[in-house]
Amino acid sequence: MIIVMKPQAAEQSIRAVTQYIEENGLQVHLSKGEEVTIIGLVGDKSKLSTETLSIFKDVERIVPITESYKLANRKFHSQPTTVQVGNTSIGPGNLTIMAGPCAVETKEQLLSIAHAVKDAGATILRGGAYKPRTSPYSFQGLAEEGLRYMQEAKAETGLSTICEVVSLDAIEAAVKYVDMIQIGARNMQNFILLKEAGQSGLPVLLKRGLCATIDEWLNAAEYIIAEGNPNVVLCERGIRTFETATRNTLDLSAVPVLRQKTHLPIIVDPSHSTGSYKYVAPMAKAAVACDADGLMIEVHNDPAHALSDGPQSLTFEKFAALTDALAPFCTLVGRDFKA
């Protein structure tokens, strides 16, 4: 349920409503716009009398929320959220690019990639230290050693950093080294891990599950936010369909749908979704054109010999060419970006 206050409602009226709600054992979430304040309620609404609420001064209307997710809901929070990751703001008005290798392999490899992606306009370095792979015999990542390399890359380049986590131990290690943690597609409905991520104190990038609906995805975000962490960014990375021409099917329609449903920032991963470097650039341009807040792109110094996801990784030259080509698409949707 949300309570919409009248335009220019007095602070005293807002406090009276919130006090009544809290006295009845519910949580209050305020969303203040330039003219209108929205008061969101979380808890057992049967304890409240809507008739009593409706007669409070400056209450304009009471709106029930039928969706199971509340805190991630745009009805709860009408203004778009901006998530701060180091010096980078992910949200309206600018385009954020996260780039780097699927897996951290060596310190030298990571540092060379970090410099290259920064020169081309990326502000966040991505790198996998924990790799949940389909085969148990595939490279599983360097774990904490890889996280230390991420920290060194940040110190040398000034880039913020993000790494996927797959367990509580991984979260406890990651918070010492990186600026943002990622919950991968395979763990989108690992609810225990989502709660731990919500308690980590770091911003969280939440990737869409392989076969998840948008509502299931938003409910996963709700688990994180409900733990007191509002800094969640959603990442569309393709869903599994009958099509085999690409690794997954990139659902760009999710971007405008999410704009209607949630206030959270939305980025797109054209690398994992397509599975081929040949398709990354056109899908990245399309993602910007449909008003995504950012991109996550895999970049490698030697894709042919990458230990993970080489076929979908861009070379330094291809990545620089892509970022150079994004300017007109950013202009189209009113976003700032400088390669």
Q: Count CB-CB contacts under 10 A for residue 260.
A: 7
- Give pLDDT tens digits for 193-241: 999 999 999 999 999 999 999 999 999 999 999 999 999 999 999 999 9
Domains and CATH numbers, the chain: 2-63 (3.30.70.1140), 83-333 (3.20.20.70)
Mean pLDDT on 80-87: 96
Asked if residue 18 has pLDDT above 80, the reply is yes
State residue 334's pLDDT score. 93
Residue 207 CA to its chain's centroid (Å): 7
Q: What is the pLDDT of residue 230?
A: 95
Read off the amino acid at residue 198. Answer: G
Name the average pLDDT for the chain. 93
Alpha-carbon distances of 311 from 68, 258, 276, rounded to whole Å: 39, 30, 5
Residue 322's identity, in one-letter code, is L
Where residue 132 falls among pLDDT bands split at 50, 70, 90?
A: low
CA nearest to 296, candidates 280, 282, 308: 280
Out of 44-53, 132-141, 187-196, pick the least confident.
132-141
Distance CA(20)–CA(50), nearest Å, equals: 11
Q: How far apart are CA 145 and CA 158, in angstroms?
A: 20
Least confident stretch, 8-17, 125-134, 155-164: 125-134
In tens, the pLDDT along 54-71 reads 889 999 999 888 898 999
Go through the chain and tell me how many residues it has: 339
Burial class of residue 82 in the structure, from the number of CB atoms within 10 Å of its CB (0-12 exposed, 13-18 middle, 19+ buried): middle
User: For residues 104 and 106, what is the distance between their CA atoms, to the nearest angstrom?
Assistant: 6
What per-residue confidence (pLDDT) applies to 45? Answer: 79
pLDDT at 143: 85
pLDDT band at 48 (very low <50, low <70, confident <90, very high): confident
Dist. CA 212–CA 7, nearest whole Å? 38
Query: What pLDDT, on the 0 to 100 scale, is given for residue 42?
Result: 82
Quick: pLDDT tens for 27-44: 888 887 777 888 988 888
What local confidence, expressed as pLDDT, does residue 323 receive?
A: 97
Is 136 or 37 the better-scoring residue by pLDDT? 37
What sign has the CA pseudo-torsion 259, 264, 270, 273? negative
Tokens of 28: 């209050």
Helix, strand, coil percentages in the chain from 3-state DSSP, rounded to 5: 40, 20, 40
Whether residue 50 has pLDDT greater than 60: yes
Q: Among 17-26, 160-169, 281-290, which stretch is predicted with the lowest mean pLDDT?
A: 17-26
Q: Which residues contact 70 (CB under 8 A, 6 or more apart)?
A: 40, 42, 76, 222
Per-residue pLDDT at 65: 85
